[in-house]
Structure 1
């Protein structure tokens, strides 16, 4: 499982010109699911997201997590994150989860987050989404399990 985590001052997802998920200050999380991903992997990643310290404290150091700053989390499925780009000029998606497994793991990840934190918004799995954001910093991290 791979997650591109971005600290944002705002982010939203539109599907068919309709806003389906939006947050103000918080984290935009683009989530890619691989074939071998399990519930255990999803739980470990979710815990890391909830506790990852990317927000500044009073001294200006990244010592606070999303919960401590009362920020939102916007989770968007992003199949292309699992692409192998090491060879050639076309990405390979051979390690990517099947659509069924990907959706199951995505839903599991989101539900796990929501059980632990109330401010979670999402896109729509496998939809053609338009994602807009204002990256704060910019601060962006790739988390992999």
Structure 2
């Protein structure tokens, strides 16, 4: 399910509406290893397959920040802001990782617009993303992100 918004009024009208889930993405060991290389976080629970399989999660797990970093990708299939000159990642208010993401997990997301605020730079949209691993009892990531729509 995807939504295209053509105005700020369209976004305001959707406050509180959950959109999604969108298509899923499988997290493989290669993606985890590449993220470890990019960030310098080579903790064994992520990259040492043998040790991680014998560890507390029974398999290597994705970095929490890897899961968070996938929100732009997962979110691109959920909503499209077809107005404004630029859409800028303005930050996050709150991020939590309630459940680990074992290698091989299939992630999908939902998004809910929770607020629209005016600022001198443009409109700031607050979007609550819930990223879930298929079959998990709890979400993998819950993040309240901010998008600045300028112009």
Same fold by TM-score greater than 0.5: no
**Could you say which structure has the larger radius of gyration?**
2
TM-score (norm 1): 0.30
Structure with the bigger RCO (C-alpha within 8 Å, sep 6+) is 1
TM-score (norm 2): 0.29
